[in-house]
Structure 1
């Protein structure tokens, strides 16, 4: 789980918003594609891009992007952060896209120092349908701490949820969200990148599911290693076919995505996975799912059998008395960690503050009690590749009409960048004050403490600043 539940919260759950009926009319868009770096000087020869943004004008959206190694031999290099995209119409079918990204990350031993990534992008978009565009892309990518500072070219797709068409372009409907634990048992003879035998991996992550028919779902999720490969992370999308039998349903699923880190040999990063399983409705809202499968890297040595257990919150079943809908809150901003000698594996590191960008999603299970997921990755501080993935409980206390106090407890994993997480498992407490600026969003400031569970590791004081957007789904 080290490198993150991160994308799980930042994008899997942002993608949840993009297909949620209550917010479709606000206008969301998703862009994805692969770009080859023109003159690669590292094992990172190309990047996969995934962007989820909300339009704030008819022509401009802002959101988050995640970039992962897709070409070369650097599976495990991930970068994510803030991105804005503008589109200018040239004709009925052609438009010009302009984008800017700032974020951070690292991995695959290819980035040192801050890990800050900047990208300026240009695309020529050809409209295939009211919802889909084909994109021809060019960009300039600069990564601080790696010899990457030059052009890249590629192909992509753009998917729109467009208020001009009534917010319904025939896209999938958000159906469920799940917390999933997975155990990978590598096949005999599978080796690490460094050459030793690959041990078993235990992963924890989150997934979002979208209905496209009565029996077919699309899924998107991310997971990170909690045991066996500190620093391993994967981001996967797929399709599932269900066969209902009363309270039980059997399913077949295929998934593809990118992963690496933690010395796992995923080659360029592309992963392919197939599984079969059973889901049991435990209550009207919650399911328990068990699946067996296999995963393999397309051009790396990694291949393994898998067993997964998922705890699923279903939304689209018949609901009685749920007229108020489901409350959520999406937060994004910057977090700062005050370091000390125990913060670093190498105590001589002189940095005193590490800067992170973070995203949280809160799911209310009561009037004030909520479950939260939090993802962070470094943008400055000399710890390229450092990232966190946290889950926890929070309690919201109204103070005045505009001020709200929130108290949160977290448990999760962290690692990378030479930070001494002493095994990877961390816990923390945080208090936040939110000031309501308008009906749609709040300004948030928080202070807290984060500490490795095992003694002798990092224990920084944290300060967070950002924005919080409350919303409601499935009324």
Structure 2
């Protein structure tokens, strides 16, 4: 048996079994956009109709490291980041870190990273940056939840990707975790291809792929635990209701890949959450209306006192999808979920509302029409929010949370939205919220828009009184354009738990990036 070289040994320690499958999913997600890009001429036409095409270099990065907690406890931490080049050697983008090995399954930290990447030559470079986010879970000593992760990486470049060792500090500023460690990272090169948000033109050539997803599913899942226990060792017998979202990208023929996230909305496990990479096969059986498929998923999950061990989750399921229109469909599937190093196994049954993003249409009046149309507007926002949250011990105290939001317009001034909120201050470090809903905007001048949103989802953790997890939120906002694609959005509203004591006014502010993506012809 040959000896393992240093990079392999470091990677084997840093990554859980998540690594090869998540890396394959990242490659698969980038394959289709890359193929579309390669199909263009060497000097592609950047003005399809009168709508110019803009291209940003992008990187999807998966990293892993072993973090030291108080009491000589070790926790494997995995991170997934999407970075966009914003000029020269500077990169910015969203990311999420989560526990993958050890005893803290359910610790998640979403946030934003800024990075600087300097090449020495064609095969060697150095990367450095800082991730800032809010989160926690699994009773980890995270304090208010704010996590900073400065890092420096030695980069070995290969065609289409790079890899190398990383040295980082993981510091929860108001908690007890402050660890320095080596790890390993894998990076896949890609591109973010988009058009201006305020477009005026004819049908485009389909090359503006944006985030790269062509299907989004809103899911409701019922999980029935089998031979499972809580973190206190008591048997789990109550069924668990989960609400979530899945984003997919068709890769080749029946094969697709994507990511999914869900949180507990019922079952007495408020605070349970999961984030996974998923891939599957889908075969049409009645034209293009009815299809059967199978899929698998691997990722991280925990919280809500469910014993998922270090946090690694694996899933397998089979189901069907019925297309009601060219755009909308409904799905159903049966499956199994298992935490290999914990005490959580469950049978699952799920239903979903499926939205095909690439169907050519102009707006809601063309819902049943398949003629080519102009690009669709999208928005990505990141910011912070503040409200006074009722706690389970009877107190009411302010908390602050980081907010990540993606909006997809279905009409010129109407959009669907998916959001993730996670506390970083206020003594509620494990508190997180997942929401989806509908919003509307009204332009009042060339640079100012007014808007409103109605949202529903799941929340829990951090001692916040959400009792079961189901929450509702409504808000109104003013959006002021700073450039043709970047704006400042200030909002106020209210969040309320369906069954718990959480009922509070909310204020928030965010930077929002607006862009256009193409439909297929």
TM-score for both structures, normalised by structure 1:
0.88
- Residue 393 of structure 2: which of 339, 346, 349 is its match? 346
Aligned length in residues: 451
More RCO (CA 8 Å, sep 6+)? 1
Please list every run of 5 or more consecutive structure 2 residues that lacks an aligned counterpart in the other structure.
Answer: 1-24, 37-51, 194-205, 362-369
2:504 matched residue in structure 1: 460
1:374 matched residue in structure 2: 419
Extract structure 1 runs of 4+ deviating beyond 6 A: 15-24
1:84 matched residue in structure 2: 114
1:285/1:171 CA distance change after superposition, 3 Å: closer
Distance 1:24 1:177 in 2: 24
Q: Secondary structure at the match of 1:235?
A: strand
Does the alignment pair 1:177 with 2:216?
Answer: yes
The answer to whether the Cα contact below 8 Å between 1:42 and 1:146 also exists between their aligned partners in 2 is: no
1:384-463 superposed matches below 5 A: 384-454=429-499, 457-463=501-507
Q: CA RMSD in A?
A: 2.7
1:299-318 superposed matches below 5 A: 299-317=341-359
Moved more, 309-318 or 377-386: 309-318
The answer to whether the Cα contact below 8 Å between 2:243 and 2:458 also exists between their aligned partners in 1 is: no
The answer to whether the Cα contact below 8 Å between 2:29 and 2:251 also exists between their aligned partners in 1 is: no
Deviations 1:62-83 (A, max 9, x none): 1122110112111011112121
Deviation of residue 110 (structure 1)? Answer: 1.3
2:166 matched residue in structure 1: 137
Please list every run of 5 or more consecutive structure 1 residues that lacks an aligned counterpart in the other structure.
Answer: 1-11
Distance 2:128 2:474 in 1: 40
Distance 1:171 1:436 in 2: 21
Q: Secondary structure at the match of 1:374?
A: strand
* Rg larger for: 2
Does the alignment pair 1:237 with 2:277?
Answer: yes
Deviations 1:43-102 (A, max 9, x none): 551201111122101421111221101121110111121211211102211111102011
Distance 1:162 1:54 in 2: 8
Does the alignment pair 1:200 with 2:239?
Answer: yes
Q: Secondary structure at the match of 1:460?
A: strand
Deviation of residue 147 (structure 1)? Answer: 2.9
The answer to whether the Cα contact below 8 Å between 2:220 and 2:242 also exists between their aligned partners in 1 is: yes
Deviation of residue 347 (structure 1)? Answer: 3.1
- Residue 284 of structure 1: which of 307, 320, 326 is its match? 326
Deviations 1:297-336 (A, max 9, x none): 1211111111221211113456633421222221111111
1:307/1:422 CA distance change after superposition, 3 Å: closer
The answer to whether the Cα contact below 8 Å between 2:192 and 2:211 also exists between their aligned partners in 1 is: no
The answer to whether the Cα contact below 8 Å between 1:18 and 1:29 also exists between their aligned partners in 2 is: no
The answer to whether the Cα contact below 8 Å between 2:300 and 2:312 also exists between their aligned partners in 1 is: yes
Distance 1:307 1:193 in 2: 24
2:335 matched residue in structure 1: 293
Does the alignment pair 1:158 with 2:196?
Answer: no
TM-score for both structures, normalised by structure 2:
0.81
2:255 matched residue in structure 1: 216
Deviations 1:273-306 (A, max 9, x none): 1111112221111222221111111211111111
2:152 matched residue in structure 1: 122
2:515 matched residue in structure 1: 471
1:325/1:254 CA distance change after superposition, 3 Å: same
Distance 2:128 2:212 in 1: 29
1:89-108 superposed matches below 5 A: 89-108=119-138
Distance 2:351 2:468 in 1: 23
Distance 1:42 1:347 in 2: 34
Deviation of residue 111 (structure 1)? Answer: 2.4
1:182-193 superposed matches below 5 A: 182-187=221-226, 189-193=227-231
The answer to whether the Cα contact below 8 Å between 1:23 and 1:473 also exists between their aligned partners in 2 is: no
Does the alignment pair 1:330 with 2:369?
Answer: no
